Amino acid sequence: MGCCASNTAGGPKANRISRWRSTGIVGLRDSKLKTFPDEVIEMERAVRTLDLTHNKIADVPGEISKLINMQRLLIADNLVERLPGNLGKLQSLKVLMLDGNRISCLPDELGQLVRLEQLSISRNMLIYLPDTIGSLRNLVLLNVSNNRLKSLPESVGSCASLEEIQANDNVVEELPASLCNLIQLKSLCLDNNQVNQIPDGLLIHCKSLQNLSLHNNPISMDQFQLMEGYQEFEERRKKKFDKQIDSNVMMGSKGLDVGVDK
């Protein structure tokens, strides 16, 4: 770890830390940091939001577990390769943004973040997701686009609050049957993968599903249209776009996107 950049020692630094303590918000985006700042760890319970986006931090120290009241952790666009196991001690965490790093796997302790609502780890090197992800019952958004995933774990079907899954630009071949359990799911995006079929019953059981995007996959439009529940899915999708039109939202020149290549 190390000290973050400041203009001078003494007064300005003390004022900055005092401000962080009073607001609970530590903003160090674009600060040219190469190490995790010591003074942030020393604040312990005072930190609610920590934004370290767009720095050059390679290591997240185990001492991060001291920030037990932290609700938002943003470390996107750094050089992080791994996360410490005791990240799971951050029981207050609701938002975890790790996009644009070099992470190849997530610790099993991720499943201990039971209050987590948003997990975004796009543009990394993930080859799998831990089975413990199924313990994230409050997770609403999961973004794992632009990784090296060949599959999604069966346990993802236990994330009962999931509304959106972004898994574009991977090498996913199969989708777990447990996706059918996600009755809150509204959007499932899997463009640019190797998906050749969708779990039976997905369009029937996922009654909230309004957007299913499978461009540049082996699955054909004919296969998609033959699925049980397709007509009901189409009605939901069109209602969504009708509402957007009523709200004066432009659809673009291509009109309605069916989500599957012909």
Convert the pLDDT of each residue in 78-109 to its tens digit: 999 999 999 999 999 999 999 999 999 999 99
Average of per-residue pLDDT across 164-190: 97
Dihedral-angle region of residue 116 (phi above 0 means left; psi in -120 to 50 means alpha; beta otherwise): beta
Average of per-residue pLDDT across 146-173: 98
The mean of the pLDDT values for the chain is: 91
Please write the tens of the pLDDT for every residue from 111-152.
999 999 999 999 999 999 999 999 999 999 999 999 999 999
- Going from the C-alpha of 218 to that of each of 15, 110, 143, 248, 252, the distances in angstroms are 58, 32, 22, 35, 26
The b-or-e profile of 171-201 (16+ CB within 10 A means b, else e) is ebeebeebbbbbebbbbbbbbbbebeebbee
What's the topology of domain 21-244?
3.80.10
Integer Cα distance of 73 and 104 in angstroms: 19
Residue ranges per domain, the chain? 21-244
Question: What global pTM score does this model have?
Answer: 0.89
260 versus 53: which is more confidently predicted?
53
% of the chain surpassing 70 pLDDT: 89
Please write the tens of the pLDDT for every residue from 225-236.
899 999 999 988
Task: Give me the pLDDT at residue 11, please.
Answer: 73
